[in-house]
Amino acid sequence: MSVESTSAGADGDSQAAGAVAESEETKNVVDPLPTFDDMALSPEVKRALGEMGFVVPMLVQRETFAPLMAGRDLIVQSRTGSGKTAAFGIPFAEGLIHPDDNRVQALVLVPTRELALQVATECRRIAVYRQLQVTAIYGGAPIGKQLSELEAGAQIIAGTPGRVLDHLGRKTLRLGALRVLVLDEADEMLSMGFLEEITEIIKHCPPTEKRQTILFSATIPTDIERIGSRHMRTPEKLELSADHISVEDIKHAYYMVAGMGRTRDLVRLLESERPESAIIFCNTREETGRVAEFLRKSGYDAEAISSDLNQRDRERVMARTKAKNLQFLVATDIAARGIDISDLSHVINYTFPESAEVYVHRTGRTGRAGKSGIAISLVSPRELGSFYMLKLTYKIKPEERFLPSEEEFKRMRSERQLSDLRNLVGAKDVPPEWHDLAKRVMTETDGERIVAALIAERLARARPESSAQALPVAFASEPPSPPLSRPPRSQSASTDGEGRRPRGRRSRTGRGRSERNGAPQGGEARAQAAAVPVAATIDDSGGREFWEAWADSKGDAAPAPPAANALPAPVSSPPPPAMAVPEGMTRLYLNLGRRDRLRPDDVKAFLAEKSVAPDTIDVRSSHTYLLVPSEIAQEVCGKLHSIPYRDRTLVCEPAKK
């Protein structure tokens, strides 16, 4: 059996669903499900759980509560999304942590910054009426706020190993009074190469007999067993999901693909499956950027998340994810850790994972807390070995499905787009004069082109801001293999940017130590540099979007070398302020700029060829702003939008700001 509680985000929303699912699982059992009253919780904790939407305790919470309150060490195997955070958060609030002691009493180590924030948020909500101080410490964020919270007397810390070690080195974090050490997602931390950091952190903790150690993991590899034997007191092992990991509540399917043109196969899959929402997993961060860009160019709402994103963009993508207004999140395994999305219908493996354990973690993002879900994989001949190993290891029998043919794909896509148009138009009446104009347009020789341009523009405007510049096409061009250009990262050369050290390379803790989640590299100078995020180095004043300012700074700082017959590159200068928009005027965005080796005179000449004469033009690195009278703005967009230029299709639309 297995049970789980919920977290403030996805877990909390699905507590009731988990209870219903478990009722089905145990329908032949006479004893009723226990409640929080059966756990003899204090009124303050029960009140907090009630406000979080918790109905009944889930299995991992019920089975671990008594041993944890008795002070025993535990190794708990429980699947992703089973409510593990509340499993140790409730005992923290019930007495394992003393409210009167302002020293650090509990340390929860997690693999990623998102998971650190999630754990801190949920523990804070559970202990809200017990006056416990909780904080998250992680890399990729200014260290000042963390220092002030630690100095104020944080009692529960949720942190990533690299940043925790950094604070220990600074003497801003002391673990001498630690009562409880929790390793959450332990197998994931070990697979990311955190074993040395974890071992070093444990050296700063009280000895084994003077602390309680709790280890949560979806799988129990030999390294987990080794940690238990070396750093725990005769731990009790609870296997709450060993016999049905990611099987009972998840439907598994796969498509055999050639491996070439995989992004096109992904688009066919999406048209065939029609998922309401999905996480699309890639094996590398370079793939995430290429796949997300391809999906946007193909007319889908998709965002990529990986360590290549700066903190500001990462928070923007996370906000869209939590607000449930992002359909497809393209992520690596590590970047997706700690992202809670309730009611996620699909998990899609764009590239099949190398190990069965990674597949377990991926598919654990759906089918959470008793809900059903679908896990779909694209499997190429090179990945058959890993695929068969998964089937042998976990005894699952995925259903083979087949991608639609070219004709079927076009029919599916046109049906979906027609449905989208109907939804956009709605059922409101249209005046007869517009019906007459529509009939007139359809009789004109260029009527089909006019209607197609209007449809493309309408669908593009209906999509979220992140994909509004991408027009829906039957198939976008296959993205190039080199990764997209991106802002500089703060990770050292000893990591691959996702926080993992390349296989075969080891580092000595304390010398050349790297922060696994974008934290400083050690030393005062490097710490100060890490405290300044990438966004702080880019001038986005004047109302410009961050990506616009970043593109300008990239273009100004490092222009590409000119081709043999190319025009001379413009003289480097600070990015100009945003164009003022007087009343009665509209600022338009056009995706031509200095990166196209165009000077203002060249842009003016091009516009003149198209019979467009804006009042003002503002040529930037990646784009140009046009200032035109509002009454002709739509006409100008119609002349420039969707027309070919060199190797691209132009986008002209009202600027976002």
> Contact 556/622 with Cβ under 8 angstroms?
no
Residues pairing with 130 in the sheet? none
Q: Is residue 509 part of a domain?
A: no
Q: Is residue 589 part of a domain?
A: yes
Q: Is residue 81 part of a domain?
A: yes
User: pLDDT band for position 492 (50/70/90)?
Assistant: very low
Q: Can you list the positions of beta strands (E) in 110-166?
A: 134-137, 156-159
* pLDDT above 50: residue 359: yes
Last residue of a domain, one of 445, 467, 489: 467
Q: Which CATH number belongs to the domain containing residue 23 in this structure?
A: 3.40.50.300
Nearest to 86 by CA among 10, 5, 192: 5
So what's the pLDDT on residue 536? 39
Last residue of a domain, one of 185, 217, 239: 239
Residues pairing with 108 in the sheet? 158, 182
Segment 573-610, tens digit of pLDDT: 454 555 568 888 888 889 888 877 888 888 888 898 88
What do you get for the CA distance between the two ends of the chain, in Å? 54
Last residue of a domain, one of 239, 261, 281: 239
Q: Is residue 563 part of a domain?
A: yes
So what's the pLDDT on residue 370? 52
Q: Is 230 exposed, middle or buried (0-12, 13-18, 19+ CB in 10 A)?
A: exposed
Q: Is 654 helix (H, G, I), strand (E, B) or coil?
A: strand
Phi, psi angle pair for 426, to nearest 5°? 75, -165
Q: Can you list the positions of beta strands (E) in 333-469?
A: 346-349, 373-379, 399-401
* Highest mean pLDDT, choosing among 93-107, 339-353, 436-450: 93-107
DSSP 95: I
Segment 172-210, tens digit of pLDDT: 999 999 999 999 988 878 877 788 999 999 999 999 999
Domain match, 386 and 262 both: yes
Residues 6+ apart with CB under 8 A from 284: 332, 351
Determine the structural domain holding residue 564 and report its residue range.
546-654
* pLDDT above 80: residue 160: yes
Average pLDDT of the segment spanning 377-381: 94
User: pTM above the 0.75 mark?
Assistant: no
The owner of tokens 């990623």 is 112
CA–CA gap between residue 474 and residue 151 (Å, rounded): 57
Q: Is residue 21 part of a domain?
A: yes
Average pLDDT of the segment spanning 378-386: 92
- The total number of structural domains in the chain stands at 4
Q: Is 131 helix (H, G, I), strand (E, B) or coil?
A: coil
Domain match, 383 and 400 both: yes
Q: Is residue 495 part of a domain?
A: no
CA distances from 546 to 465, 466, 629 (A): 13, 12, 26
Nearest to 348 by CA among 265, 402, 282, 392: 282
Write the DSSP assignment of 222-275 as a string of letters.
HHHHHHHHHHSSS-EEEESSTTSTTTTTEEEEEEE--STTHHHHHHHHHHHH--
Q: Which CATH number belongs to the domain containing residue 616 in this structure?
A: 3.30.70.330
Q: Is 392 exposed, middle or buried (0-12, 13-18, 19+ CB in 10 A)?
A: exposed
> Contact 615/629 with Cβ under 8 angstroms?
yes
Q: Is residue 152 part of a domain?
A: yes
Domain match, 17 and 128 both: yes
* Highest mean pLDDT, choosing among 59-73, 419-433, 498-512: 59-73
Domain match, 440 and 575 both: no
Segment 30-69, tens digit of pLDDT: 345 577 888 889 999 999 999 988 888 888 999 999 999 9
Average pLDDT of the segment spanning 388-403: 88
Domain match, 65 and 122 both: yes
Write the DSSP assignment of 65-94 as a string of letters.
HHHHHTT--EEEE--TTS-HHHHHHHHIII
Q: Is residue 347 part of a domain?
A: yes
